[in-house]
Structure 1
């Protein structure tokens, strides 16, 4: 086998590299799963983020409703937050997360733009085609990806990576302070998502 050709094939760019090639902050978690790549990919695509039960994620979901609670308005709880909804349904103006790329059986990439360091996050809806080139000062660009790799004859390796790049030095400083506090918690959420996907892929059960 030609070693140089093997290395070139292994170094194929990720869709995430096109969406956010340069970034300052990142977190990557992975897990080996006893299931085929197709089963793992389908489980990742079917992931309902509301099925991730951890104190941190529950706090994040609760915090989203704080402004409505302050105004004594009913808090709308979505029936689900499935990854597939980003790719299969038309996004609305109040949905900051958008699909940034999909390679069937291999990668799912999605992202959002926001000022996440604020007590109440300010989101900026940026359409998928504008995400990579968005440079308006004052914002953090966040992209995340599930990537599935064959791992031996009977397992798959699933990675979940989150990247952030800010659009100006001041925002980078603000996000840096925020990231120092939340990075360990982000790791908890990412690992929680991987555990849910692992269970679904290995048992063949739908995530609910």
Structure 2
């Protein structure tokens, strides 16, 4: 991709940036639909389960734990504290994000609208912008990317976030890899896979076609 990505327009500068990619044996349209329809609650690994349990421990100790939602798709972001759907280039890229103080044991969220997100710079806060994007990769494949950017709004918040980021970065990378793996499985179930294409193309040399 040579044009500026939507996530770059929303957050040109980042204090932390991480991206993961995977090659999907499906067309871009099917891959994008799978990413757009992802239920984040279906992304499961043993490490992720432990990490989420630990992240929710402070709230449970305060007696504020709540039942998890039945599902969590991009359309459901508005029901999550701080999170929102920021923008979309249909069929190519979708951006979602949040404003909060992520480095605190109990996250303090700040609700803003999609039109406010890019320009929000009130001191004391951090912003996350994440995206799913797809690009054609040869004739039968798609390159699926998941990028996450974080920026803070003042030096003190930046120092706090960087200490926090040093600790959680491996877990974030693990979650992102598990997420694209989940999307990949769904996308490949929606259309022809590379294995199917290869099998169809493999004709024995001594076979006589009618």
Tell me if structure 1 keeps the 8 A contact 2:34–2:183: yes
Alignment deviations for residues 96-124 of structure 1 (CA, whole Å, 9 cap, x no partner)? 11111111110010000111111111111
Q: Does 1:17 align with 2:24?
A: no
CA drift at 1:19? 1.0
Structure 2 gap segments, 5+ residues each: 192-210
Query: Aligned residues, how many?
Result: 191
Change (3 A) 1:65 1:173: closer
Say yes or no: does 1:82 pair with 2:92. Answer: no
Would you say 1:138 and 2:130 are equivalent positions? no
Given candidates 100, 104, 108, the residue that maps to 1:122 is 108
* Contact 2:51–2:171 (Cα < 8 Å) also in 1: no
SS at 1:102 equivalent: strand
Q: Does 2:180 match 1:194? A: yes
Q: Tell whether 2:103 aligns with 1:110.
A: no
Contact 2:133 2:145 in 1 (8 A): yes
1:170 Cα offset (Å): 0.7
CA root-mean-square deviation = 1.8
Residue by residue over 1:24-59, the C-alpha shift from the partner in whole angstroms, topping out at 9 and shown as x without a partner, is 201100000000000000000111111111244324
Q: Which residue in 2 is equivalent to 1:45?
A: 36
Report the secondary structure of 2:19's partner residue: strand
Instruction: Normalising by structure 1, report the TM-score.
Output: 0.85
**Which consecutive residues of structure 1, in runs of 5 or more, have no partner in the other structure?**
1-9
Task: Tell me whether 1:96 sits opposite 2:82 in the alignment.
Answer: yes
Specify the alignment match of 1:35 in structure 2.
Answer: 26
CA spacing shift, 1:64–1:182, aligned 2, 3 Å: closer
SS of residue matched to 2:122: coil
Q: Which sits farther off after the overlay, 116-125 or 157-166?
A: 116-125
Higher-Rg structure is 2
